[in-house]
A and B are shown apart, each in its own frame.
Chain A
Amino acid sequence: MRHGALVYLGAFFALALSWTGFVLTPQMQVGQMVATNTVPAGARYPVARPGLAQQGLQVYRANGCAYCHSQQVWQQGTVFDVMLTDGGTNQPGVVAALQAVMPRLSRPEALQLLEGLPKPVLRGVSREEAESAVKKLTTSGAKATLWIEAVGPDLARGWGKRRSVPEDFLYDYPVLLGAQRVGPDLADVGVRQPDVGWHLRHLYAPASVVTGSVMPGYPYLFEKRRVVGAGSADALALSGDHAPEVGYEVVPKPEAKALAAYLVSLRADAPLFTAPFSVGASGGPAAPATNAAPTAGGGVP
């Protein structure tokens, strides 16, 4: 072979370059990652899972949950909103300030806006506009806050409040990002549905809690047995077609309990420096707190 050394060197550098880009650089960037702090509260994030939930990760892996569920939320952009949280006592002044902030707002509309706070006053404006509006409103005696909101199709579905960042997976081994979304994203399913009992019923018979679910049941994680005495405290509260025959009860095996504990521990909802958003007053524009049962929008579990 002619130019053997040249071919060898060319191949070597081509491979070395991709190794540098795909292995070495990410390792330098996030390989030494440690727990970080939330912004602005300063709490530790992430918190290591309890042991049962840590075992649940292996059950999640063993049952192939990651083939249909992702754990990565995509964010399209970030917008600034102005949230009016309290009208204060100086109503004429606040109405005047509202009209200064929203020039096309009539007086009755402004008075209507002051009912049932907190409400967004401006949405999707620049930081300067939002800050000056907040200043005008607080000067008049109302309470307004600058609201930073992450937006995107995933977030509009209620799958979280921000994008996923490497910190979310710090204590996951292996990291089960998932690539397909036959079911909804589970990055913050523990926030949407914190009820362990719901998760157990859902794992046993998905259609018992979500109508029209395409998820298969995992009855082998449960034991159907004859009720002895007062019955087990762990027995699932099933009803209708999904309930066992009279005299029988469905009790979760340790694997099912671990998996449910793991699902509840998935709470990627902390505001971080790398993925900032505003946490605050209830009724904000962000996703509602509990929406795990994907009833609206034809979602499947």
Chain B
Amino acid sequence: MSVEMRRPAQPATEGREEPTPQGAVPMWLFILLFVALFWGMNYFDRHGAWFNGRVYAPYRSLAELQMHQPPTGGINLERGRAVYESVCALCHGVDGKGKPGQAPPLAGAEWVLGPVNRLVRIPLAGLTGPIEVNGQQWNLAMPAMGAALSDEDLAAVLSYMRTSWGNKGTEVTAEQVGAVRKEIGNRTQPFTAAELLTVQ
């Protein structure tokens, strides 16, 4: 180029541009550009999170970011079942229906589905004396079966009771169990039904 430019200007072409040859842009260039554009759009769609101001790399979408949020601490009902079957089921039955002469039912029982503070007291200190469960009179004694369990395990097993066998209660948290444990202190005297009814 530079060599040509140093030549004296030729009169024939002075002041005029060479006409652009028609069809100079080859078809393969168009196809290449379209392929690149298509790839770019796909890449943006996969990685760009559509301009969401809360999503930064290495996350590629809001859904992926939400998937990486730490779990909120919940009650493990599977653990509750394991504890129930090893500690409670001997008397109350695996199906929570209770056993005549041994223990009243837990399925559908108002004591299980009632106030949490009332329910937590029963395994912590035991229960004795006459009690009406599901319209039936019982008069047995339950030892403090849950006193040795940790707050988490007791919360898990009580949550399992309140959500199994057709029961539709709320879950019990370890904090609730801990609060009741603190409240009753080192009480070893079992509760009676009348005493529990004063607890809300």
A contact residues vs B (CB 8 Å cutoff) = 25, 28-30, 39-40, 75-78, 127, 131, 135, 138-141, 143, 146, 148, 163, 165, 271, 273-278
Closest CB of chain A to B126's CB: distance in Å? 22
| Residues in chain B near residue A29, CB distance under 8 A | 51, 53
A-B contact pairs, 17 of them (CB 8 A): A29-B53, A30-B53, A39-B69, A40-B69, A40-B70, A40-B72, A75-B58, A77-B58, A127-B67, A138-B79, A139-B81, A140-B82, A141-B82, A148-B69, A163-B56, A273-B54, A276-B65
| B78-A146 in contact (CB<8A) | no
| Residues in chain B near residue A77, CB distance under 8 A | 58
Closest CB of chain A to B59's CB: distance in Å? 8
| B70-A78 in contact (CB<8A) | no
Closest CB of chain A to B84's CB: distance in Å? 12
| A135-B56 in contact (CB<8A) | no
Known A-B contacts A127-B67, A146-B70, A148-B68; the reply to A274 vs B78 at CB < 8 A is no
| Residues in chain A near residue B76, CB distance under 8 A | 135, 138-139
Answer yes or no: B8 CB below 8 A from chain A CBs: no
> Which B residues between 47 and 82 are near A, CB-CB below 8 angstroms?
51, 53-59, 65, 67-72, 76, 78-79, 81-82
Closest CB of chain A to B157's CB: distance in Å? 12
9 additional A-B pairs beyond A165-B56, A274-B56, A277-B70, beta carbons within 8 Å, are: A29-B53, A39-B69, A75-B57, A78-B59, A148-B68, A163-B56, A163-B58, A273-B65, A273-B69
Interface pairs A-B: 3 shortest CB-CB = A29-B53, A139-B78, A138-B76
| Residues in chain A near residue B56, CB distance under 8 A | 163, 165, 274-275
Q: Is the interface of B mostly helix, strand, loop or mixed?
A: loop
| Residues in chain B near residue A274, CB distance under 8 A | 54-56, 65
Known A-B contacts A135-B78, A139-B78; the reply to A76 vs B58 at CB < 8 A is yes
| Residues in chain B near residue A163, CB distance under 8 A | 56-58
Nearest B residue to A30, CB-CB: B53
What separation, in Å, do the CA atoms of A274 and B62 have in the docked complex? 9
Nearest B residue to A144, CB-CB: B76
What separation, in Å, do the CA atoms of A273 and B62 have in the docked complex? 10
What separation, in Å, do the CA atoms of A114 and B57 have in the docked complex? 36
| Residues in chain A near residue B58, CB distance under 8 A | 75-78, 163
What separation, in Å, do the CA atoms of A40 and B55 have in the docked complex? 18
Nearest B residue to A163, CB-CB: B56
What separation, in Å, do the CA atoms of A20 and B195 have in the docked complex? 72
Closest CB of chain B to A31's CB: distance in Å? 10
Q: Which of B59, B70, B153 contacts A278 (CB 8 A)?
A: B70
| Residues in chain A near residue B81, CB distance under 8 A | 139
